[in-house]
Copies of this chain bind each other. A is one copy, B any other.
Amino acid sequence: MKYCFGVDIGGTTVKMGLFEETGTILDKWEITTDTSEEGKAILPNVAASIEMKIEEHKLIKDDIIGIGAGVPAPVTAEGVVNGSANLGWTYKEVKKELEELTGLKSYIGNDANVAALGEMWKGGGEGEKNMIMVTLGTGVGGGIIIDGKILVGSNGAGGEIGHLCVNYEETDQCGCGNRGCLEQYASATGIVRLARQKLGQEMRPTILNKQDVTAKDVFDAVKAGDEVAKEIATVFGRYLGYGLANLAVVADPAVFVIGGGVSKAGEVLIPYIREPYMERAFFANKNVRFVLAKLGNDAGICGAAKLVLDNE
């Protein structure tokens, strides 16, 4: 049996997994991300943790195909990062450094893209080769899989779908400096913004609390039948559905996989997204499926392992 490691490097923890080449997860663990001194200990710590697991599982190094890693930054095709705010990195040759530290072939990708690959392999996109994962978290991230491979792009910035413009009339600014980005409406933060706007001018009774409302509150209230919450969800879904219709006309996916913290609201989300999508979708893209992500926090380590297996 051959093995590989999947590593998901986040700003707080590094999630790691040991996989059989068949895809079975043998072990799963985490270490703390040491972002001090420009994050210089992060990759050495990952390498040391992998060495320990190799010993613990009594593996022979020749049986290990390689290491895959997702990092929170654009990554070039050569495995280079030109800065990651979350990790403290400036320019870093991640692939080269990890290979030198471990002696194992390494494959590096952007974390959202790698998670999308994981969902294609074992999650919501299983069985498909053309899919788009949309991660509705603090921001809106995503990954586009074309013919089974991550769309990396010329700057490693492919699939930055949170910054699709979906409203050319927006006056509020997105964190990126533009106005009208999908992230301003469909992230957890964006939903709170929409809720506050709505609640500020709403006279009808609602179970939502104007002072202290979260994205989860909004969808809990939707499930409880709250009309005001439903209207907030409608605005959220319209921008997201319109944005996904524009994505589909470019990438023609078979399935959209909806993940991230907001997606924990569950199936209740889907009709709010699908209906405006169908209203705007190009006829050739109307047969797309919408599904929830399935792997949760494991998407990153799974996708990272798949990076290795695909490049074997």
Contacts and interface: CB of A to CB of B under 8 A. Distances in A.
A285 B163 CA distance: 11
Pick from A153, A242, A280, A285 the residue with the most CB of B within 10 Å. Answer: A153
Contacts of A34: none
A165 B74 contact: no
A164 B242 CA distance: 10
A242 B154 contact: no
Interface string A241-271: 0100111011111100000000000000000
Contacts of A155: 252, 284-285, 287
Given A130-B153, A242-B168, A284-B74, A144 B250 contact: yes
Nearest to A166: B168
Interface in A211-252: 242, 245-247, 249-252
Interface in A58-105: 74, 77
Interface in A169-211: 169, 176-178
A147 B78 CA distance: 13
Contacts of A242: 165, 168
A128 interface: yes
A164 B280 CA distance: 10
A130 to B, nearest CB: 4
Contact of A178 (B144, B159, B280): B280
A154 B128 contact: yes
B177 A283 contact: yes
Interface residues of A, number: 47
Contacts of A128: 154
**Main SS of the interface on chain A?**
loop
A282 interface: yes
A165 to B, nearest CB: 6
B178 A282 contact: yes
Contacts of A247: 250
Nearest to A177: B283
Given A177-B283, A254-B154, A249 B163 contact: yes
A246 to B, nearest CB: 5
A300 interface: no
A161 interface: yes
Contacts of A130: 153-154
13 contacts: A147-B149, A151-B250, A151-B252, A154-B252, A157-B285, A158-B250, A161-B249, A161-B250, A163-B282, A165-B245, A168-B168, A178-B280, A246-B246
Interface of A: 74, 77, 128-130, 144, 146-147, 149, 151-161, 163-169, 176-178, 242, 245-247, 249-254, 280, 282-285, 287-288
